[in-house]
Amino acid sequence: MAPQVQALRDFRDRRLLPSAPGRAFVAWYYRVSPPLAELIRPHPGARALVRVAQADRLRLSQTLYRSGAYLVRMGMWAGGVVALVAPDFVSVLIGDKWLPAVAALRALAFFSMALPLVAVAVNLLIASLAGVFIPLALKQTGRDPVLGSSVLLTFVTDAMGFLIFLGLAAWLIVG
C-alpha cells in the first residue's frame, strides 16, 4: 500500500471518524466516489486529471485542516475584540440573552492580546540586559565581543522568548 493511502486512512480514522460531521463526510464520500470513478473510467484524460489531483490530496487535506483550525482561532479572537471594544454593539447584534457570553469573549480577547504583549515586553527587557552584559562579560574574559555577542544574544532572546511565552501560558492555564 502506498504511504499516501495509509496517511489518508490514518487521517480518516483519527480526525474524521471520531466526530459526527466527519463520519457524515466519510459516508458521503463512500456513497459518491464509486459512481464518479465509474463515470471517468472510460476517459483517459479524466483519469489523468484525477491522478494529478490525488497526488496532492494528502497535502491538500492537511492544509485545509490547518487552515480551518486557524480560522476558528481568528474568529474567536475577532469576536473577543468586538466584545471588548463594543459590548453595546454585541448586545444589539445578538440580543440581551447572550450578554453573559460577552464577559467570556472579553476575557478571551484580553488574554489573547495581553499574553503576547507581556511576553514581548519581558523578552525585550531580557534582550536589553543581555545586549549590555554579554559584550562586557566577553571583554572581561578576553574574547572579542564583536564576534561572539551576536550568537549569544540571539540564543538568549530566542530561548527566553520561547520560555517566557510558554511559561506565561502555562501559568494562566494551570494557575
For the chain, the average pLDDT equals 79
DSSP annotation of 94: H
* Beta carbons of 174 and 148 less than 8 angstroms apart: no
**Angle in degrees, 0-180, between the axes of helices 57-85 and 44-55, rounded to the nearest 10:** 60
Higher pLDDT, 100 or 15: 15
Q: Does the pLDDT value for residue 42 go beyond 80?
A: yes
Provide the percentage of residues in the chain whose pLDDT is more than 90. Answer: 4
Q: Does the pLDDT value for residue 98 go beyond 80?
A: no
pLDDT of residue 60: 67
* SS3 (DSSP) at 2: coil
Q: Does the pLDDT value for residue 129 go beyond 80?
A: yes
Q: Does the pLDDT value for residue 146 go beyond 80?
A: yes
Burial profile 120-158: b = 16 or more Cβ within 10 angstroms, e = fewer = eebbeebbeebeeebbeebeeeeeebeeebeebbeebbe
Provide the percentage of residues in the chain whose pLDDT is more than 70. Answer: 69
Q: Does the pLDDT value for residue 3 go beyond 80?
A: no
pLDDT of residue 31: 92
Higher pLDDT, 99 or 126: 126
Q: Does the pLDDT value for residue 61 go beyond 80?
A: no
pLDDT of residue 86: 66
User: What whole-number distance in Å separates Cα of residue 148 and Cα of residue 17?
Assistant: 53
Residues 6+ apart with CB under 8 A from 168: 115, 118, 119
Higher pLDDT, 24 or 48: 24
pLDDT band at 90 (very low <50, low <70, confident <90, very high): low
* Beta carbons of 66 and 15 less than 8 angstroms apart: no
